[in-house]
Homo-oligomer: A and B are copies of this chain.
Amino acid sequence: MSIESNLKRLGIILPPAPSAIAAYIPVKRAGNLIFTSGQIPLKEGLLVNQGRVGKNLSIEKAGESLEICCLNALSAIQTLVKLSEIKNISKISVFVACDPEFYEQHLVANYASNLLIGIFEEKGKHARSALGVSSLPLNSCVELELVVEI
């Protein structure tokens, strides 16, 4: 199936691309790679689900937030290339703001992994890191960066 039909099947409408911020930009291409900036779960200009997993936020809420990050990242990539030009999702890094006693960052990260595989199928299979961090910009609960190959 095509990426377009996967997006339709999954009921996904990509958000408008994150706007270029003064001091840095949402995506940068280097040869056959595209690096995205770390995405936080901004939806229609608002940051959803602020807080820390294991303290005041569930895995599910953090996972849903990570899905928003993921769609923002794809939307940013789309300003450079069509999603169909993505040869592979190479690497994703998932940062989870959490309590020091929370050890299930991988369950949060699965929300992004499953979404990418749902959209890109075989090409969506990626290497991944998932970490717990003490805090993120604007009290975001998650942050996601992608490296994709075109």
Given contacts A24-B126, A31-B33, 17 further A-B pairs with CB under 8 A are A23-B117, A23-B128, A24-B109, A24-B127, A28-B88, A28-B89, A28-B127, A33-B90, A35-B127, A36-B127, A38-B129, A38-B130, A95-B129, A105-B136, A131-B136, A132-B137, A133-B133
CB-CB contacts of A115-150 with B at 8 A, as 1s and 0s? 001000000011111111111111110010101010
CB-CB contacts of A86-121 with B at 8 A, as 1s and 0s? 001111110101111111111001100110010000
Query: Once the chains bind, are A98 and B131 in contact (CB under 8 Å)?
Result: no
User: A120 to nearest B CB, angstroms?
Assistant: 12
User: A67 to nearest B CB, angstroms?
Assistant: 13
Number of interface residues of A (CB under 8 A): 58
Q: Which residues of B contact A106 (CB under 8 A)?
A: 137-138
Identify 21 residue pairs between A and B in the complex whose beta-carbon atoms are under 8 Å apart, listed by A's number. Answer: A23-B113, A23-B114, A23-B117, A24-B113, A26-B127, A28-B91, A30-B32, A30-B88, A30-B149, A35-B127, A38-B128, A38-B131, A95-B131, A97-B132, A101-B135, A104-B138, A127-B145, A129-B145, A131-B136, A131-B143, A134-B134
In the bound assembly, the distance between CA atoms of A22 and B99 in angstroms comes to 26
User: A134 to nearest B CB, angstroms?
Assistant: 4
In chain B, what residue has the closest Cβ to A50? B103
